Structure 1
Amino acid sequence: MIGGRVKESMKNVPMLNQENNQPIEEHLQVIPFELEIIKQDFEKRILKLKKKIEQLEEEKM
């Protein structure tokens, strides 16, 4: 699941070529933004799983 998200995010990262005159710093600014989105998504999934575990443990008792 997360691997697919990373691959999808990487599609938005521009590839460098000789025709592109933008400094690499401008291209690298995209990466922290994409990583933050992935991190937030991961944290939401963890929270949902923790709640599900708590619910299952309560049902078990």
Structure 2
Amino acid sequence: MTTPEYSWWWGQRVNDNIYVPNQETTRSLEEHLQVIPSKLEIIKQYFEKRNLELGKKIKQLEEEKMQLGLDVDVQKLEVNKLRI
């Protein structure tokens, strides 16, 4: 007496036990090698993206701060000219 699994395996057996895959259910090599990211990896990618966004925002704010500093210097020069 054989189990259904054994009967299935025996039916798939060709040329001394070399398995012949069903072409309808086989996946491509790329699909087999595809890596599914873990939750930790997804969170890491999110934080890296967010970190880049914040880095750009910081750079923008520093440029605005420098521009405002120059504006203050110009205003001080104008005030000194008016006092003279």
Larger Rg: 2
Aligned-residue offset at 1:33: 0.3
Q: How does 1:1-61 map to 2 (within 5 A)?
A: 21-22=42-43, 23=45, 24-61=47-84
The higher-RCO structure (CA 8 Å, 6+ apart) is 1
More strand by share: 2
**Normalising by structure 1, what TM-score?**
0.60
Which 5+ residue runs of structure 1 have no aligned equivalent? 1-17
Provide runs of 4+ in structure 1 moved above 3 Å.
Answer: none
User: Any idea what the Cα deviations from partners look like across 1:32-53, whole Å, max 9, x if unmatched?
Assistant: 1000110111111110110000
Q: 1: CA distance between counterparts of 2:58 and 2:74? A: 24
Structure 2 length as normaliser, TM-score?
A: 0.45
The count of corresponding residues between Structure 1 and Structure 2 is: 42
